[in-house]
Structure 1
């Protein structure tokens, strides 16, 4: 399927040939919705994302329903999408969450740490080191079972309570997560305050710590319109995994200043214009986000979805 108005492809030097998009719309994108999204709609969302060519789709989170009520249906949702030929990571906050995920056959899990004490307290009611100690047996057990483990690290650039976060502080927690056994790390700009120079400084410090760039992904929020600029800076540094949310859905229920994630469509538009392969069919992805926006009862915040809405409407009629 083609899209009218595809960007002109003009490759730039020093960029990767391919980027793996870690799609978080079905989990991070929906977790902050006030109205409960039916399980069947979530499952259809994941299926449509897979149909658009996304190969890593974060499906849900096995947290206690009191923490994130929107994801209380994890046990019901996961079996509805488990047959898809894509990777379906799930979040697990502790060993109980890991037990629930493994019982359903999950083979990719993620733990979620914080670079700051304030957010660790707000999100997990623990200090940074107490949270790491809680995750250690989760990671150990998952790795013993041959399960891939991702470590999310929130507040890598700024914290709503503490302000700017010192780079060495972030590096320390990154090192702890990798030493614990995490296969990859996602560097989160949870409140969207990062700028390209800050991104480069953090990645350079991780280089000095000999943390391989191949183990890193980036997760930017677009609060100040910097998500694509920050992503490009990370790509120029060698990062090839980028988190994004279809339609720009999402925020963080534990950080009220966190607005939407980088929209997957906006990311794909930029990457395809740079000649970087993603495997994603932009037309089908736009149609999927337009469909979900209709289910949520409001327009998609993605600029690319809005720009191509006329084409998305035509695609929806074909589905």
Structure 2
């Protein structure tokens, strides 16, 4: 039950002003959901079965795949039930669990992307010390730090949103329980929560993007005069494109919720939907399937009866 509230559930709209196109929207997000599950599922299957894939980079790829599966699964199934089954109601508890999962996994994904950039820097610039620097203990500590950072960000924010008194409309003008869309339904001023979200998100994204930029800059400087220059540029270019597709819609969505009332609500919702679904679909292709070892192991798993360690 929700203390101090007059109701125990919310109503999800889907995409405001596009309610007349539930079939098209459902097909779009369902296709992305299936591709994300298949791609990340294959990555996890291959890494789990092939004992040769135990380098630090493979550990980070596995972390990224798990986070992507949790992120997309926490949002899209309910979204599809809104579009196709008109099942718009979501319980108070389920709403805040979904909110916590979505926003904590976005922070964790940013941390893993940073860890992968550092991994590539160490592998290219310090190859002889690669496994010594990124030992199993170090990887475990990095993974723990990523999770703890996400919890330190999301637990206070979820607590703040949960404890708000909700006495207005229970209709959430969004596809899922995005924290600001829910907070705006409260009887009190939601701006403190919005400012907290903007400050924390800016710190996390700003710090991660700065370190990622430094890592890729040092990688490019190291390979600029080698024969692998164009290959490195191609790989870094693909990675940077996916990073931009992840960070830009996410930050635009957060800032638009608080500062830009002139931006149509449907645009804000589609931006939020984009940064939750699109990277989860592209990450397995850009980060995993472009890796030679992953491709070879995937061929073994799919077309051979036995995977050799």
TM-score class, shorter = under 0.3
Q: TM-score, normalised by structure 1?
A: 0.26
Who wins on radius of gyration, i.e. which is larger? 2
Query: Which one has a larger percent helix, Structure 1 or Structure 2?
Result: 2
Query: Which one has a larger percent strand, Structure 1 or Structure 2?
Result: 1
